[in-house]
Amino acid sequence: MQKKAKERQDLAAIVKWNTIFCGHIIVIINTNTSSLQLTGLFRKSNLALTNIYSQLSSGYRINSAADDAAGLQISTRITSQVNGMKVAIRNANDSVSMMQVAEGAMQEVTNNLQRMREIALQAANATNGVVDRKALNDEYLELQTEINRINETTTFAGQRLYETNGTSIPDEFEREMVSGLQSTWLGESEQIIEQYFGITGQGELKLDLERDVDDGTLAWVSSATVGGVKRVTLTVDLAEFSDINSIHNGLDKYGDVKLDEIILHEMVHATMVSTMDDFDNLPAWFKEGSAEVLRGADDQIEGSTSAAVLAAFNSQGAATTVTDQLGAYGGGFVAMRYMEYTLGSDGLKDLMQELAGGETFDNALSTASNGSWTSEADFRASLTGAANDSATYGSRMEEFMAEEMDSTNKDNGALGGKDASNGFIRENVMTGYGSGDRSGTRGFTESIILNDNDSDQTDFSVTSNWLDSNRGDVALQDYELNVTSAGGRLHTFQIGANANQTMQVNFGAIGTTTLGLDNVDIVNRPQFAIFALDDAMKIVDKHRSLLGATQNRLESTVNNLNNVVENQSAARSRILDTDYATKTAELARYQIMQQASIALLTQANQSQELALALIG
């Protein structure tokens, strides 16, 4: 039995060795390749598990630049924008609160103005005497004080919202000026020019109301052709109309002069410029005389003899100063009246219409006079001869002076509208015309396009008459008297996530100086007080309208920023945040892989015990 058992062991050993060598299986001890391979796989699964644990515990897919370098850069930039926009949203909401405070102050100012207007209406009633008006004025002054207090003390987070003093709106004189323009002056001027000269303006007329430097120029006309359309600009310097204080020949600035006449004078220039291609080459006396003849004689020739008038006429060619302009004004006036006296009204119309048709002055004069005057020189000779040669012309000039130059015709009454109580000396009036812009430093410019088309646009061409009885007034009624206060506090709101993404608002000032109420007198001039208070309420309403529009804009900004924050946050989340559904599935997979790796690694480490069996 023992012998047989020994034989079986030997046979098994032989089979085992044959199997090992025939299958090319090498049993080694120093290097366990299987264990090394399984160890590497275990390390990878362990690192994956560590990364998953980090993502699941932090909630972020990217916890270091090594996780996703490009994604980290993109997410950081988006985070900066999102955080900035959140601050901008808070800023915008705070800005809305500031403007609500400002508007609340304006509401109180409006309430006070409404009460002040009621007081002015009471004071304007004939049932209230001077004593009653003074009592009303006491309340009026208290309301003024309260308006100034609101203007000076309204604050937000310790910051004053309004300036103590702003730019005052135009004074009473300027109001009178604009009121006249609004009512009748421009429209009636064109009607008179058409009736007297038979011509109407062509192209486009633009009216500029300015406060210019103190250069003595009241109004002027300029022209330019744009896109084949002649554009004529009539500029009125409100400051000069209200601030002429020179003295001439012992007369002060309260002379009997009418503002409507100045407008008519310049409207003649504007009409001639727009219709006459050869306007620049017309004699100066003719240009000014045509404009003066519609105004009336006034003090240009009052008390003048024929010799004095002729001397003024003959001197006009060398006019270089304000005083020298009398030659063109006074002499031109006489020359035009003499021309009309000789040609008749129809002849004067013929002359103007020939010039409007493109003729030169000499040709037009020859046609209108039926060859009596073939040139300006002929006309000059005729006028000079009538004045100097009594043997030939008899008393024709003196008769002309007596009949046509009646010095009592101080104002032809052509225009309705309002005359100014504080006029100016006619000799101090300068008017101008030319092409292109007039140089000078201007405080502000308000432009109005006069038209006969129903449109809200402020700049377009007109192919027929400049004005008609309806549209001229409507266009001018849209003009507002310098309702923007200068020098106000400029508030800058940061409403974006980046530099220079701001909004600026100027609250200006709402005190009585800015509103033009400091010199309003309800005791002696309650009617004007009503007018001034209406303008003051327009100013406050304009400011409130601006604040309301700005608030709406800020609220829209907040809505837009919220939308951007929402969508950019979603984009950042897709890059940066952990997807728990995916990661928990990966966690389970790697945990199983790790457990399998541990089990297999244990077996691999035990596989070298086979060598012991072979040895033993």
Question: 175-195, pLDDT tens digit by residue?
Answer: 556 656 655 667 777 888 888
Average pLDDT over residues 232-253: 50
Q: What is the pLDDT of residues 37-60, one digit of tens each?
A: 878 888 888 888 888 888 888 888
Q: How far apart are CA 181 and CA 191, in angstroms?
A: 15
Q: How does the average pLDDT of the chain come out, rounded?
A: 71
Q: What is the pLDDT of residues 403-427, one digit of tens each?
A: 655 433 433 333 332 222 222 222 2
Whether the per-residue pLDDT at 127 is higher than 80: the answer is: yes
Q: What are phi and psi of 206, to 5 degrees?
A: -120, 130
- Reading phi first (left if > 0) and then psi (alpha if -120 to 50, else beta), residue 59 is in left
- Reading phi first (left if > 0) and then psi (alpha if -120 to 50, else beta), residue 232 is in beta
Measured in whole angstroms, the distance separating CA 33 from the mean position of its chain's CA atoms is 85
Q: What are phi and psi of 64, to 5 degrees?
A: -155, 165
Q: What are the distances in angstroms from CA 272 to CA 267, 279, 401?
A: 8, 7, 27
Written as six digits, the tokens of 417 are: 């509208």
Q: Is 418 helix (H, G, I), strand (E, B) or coil?
A: coil
Q: What is the pLDDT of residues 309-342, one digit of tens each?
A: 444 444 443 333 333 343 556 677 778 888 888 8
Q: What is the pLDDT of residues 498-548, one digit of tens each?
A: 988 888 888 878 888 888 888 788 988 888 889 889 989 998 998 899 899
Q: What is the pLDDT of residues 471-501, one digit of tens each?
A: 333 233 333 333 333 345 678 899 999 988 8
Whether the per-residue pLDDT at 452 is higher than 60: the answer is: no
Kind and range of the H or E run holding 143: helix 130-153
Nearest by Cα to 219 from 421, 443, 482, 429: 429
pTM above 0.75, yes or no: no
* Secondary structure, 3-state, 539-562: HHHHHHHHHHHHHHHHHHHHHHHH
* DSSP secondary structure letter of residue 316: G
Q: What is the pLDDT of residues 17-37, one digit of tens each?
A: 444 444 455 666 777 787 788
Q: What is the pLDDT of residues 260-294, one digit of tens each?
A: 777 788 888 888 888 888 888 898 888 888 888 77
Owner of token pair 């916890």? 63
Please, are residues 233 and 221 in contact by the beta-carbon 8 Å criterion?
Answer: yes
Q: Is 495 helix (H, G, I), strand (E, B) or coil?
A: coil
Residues composing the chain: 616
Measured in whole angstroms, the distance separating CA 469 from the mean position of its chain's CA atoms is 29
When pLDDT is cut at 50, 70 and 90, the band that residue 149 belongs to is: very high
Please indicate whether residue 597 or residue 422 has the higher confidence score (pLDDT): 597
Measured in whole angstroms, the distance separating CA 84 from the mean position of its chain's CA atoms is 31
Q: What are the distances in angstroms from CA 419 to CA 164, 236, 296, 415, 563?
A: 35, 16, 15, 10, 60
Task: For the chain, list the domains and their CATH numbers.
Answer: 2-59+578-615 (no CATH), 73-168+486-568 (1.20.1330.10), 172-477 (no CATH)
Q: How far apart are CA 50 and CA 56, in angstroms?
A: 10
Strands in 9-167 per DSSP E: 155-156, 159-160
When pLDDT is cut at 50, 70 and 90, the band that residue 561 belongs to is: very high
Q: What are phi and psi of 590, to 5 degrees?
A: -70, -30
In this prediction, residue 469 carries a pLDDT of 34
Q: How far apart are CA 97 and CA 106, in angstroms?
A: 14
Q: What is the pLDDT of residues 87-114, one digit of tens each?
A: 999 999 999 999 999 999 999 999 999 9
Measured in whole angstroms, the distance separating CA 570 from the mean position of its chain's CA atoms is 40
In this prediction, residue 27 carries a pLDDT of 63
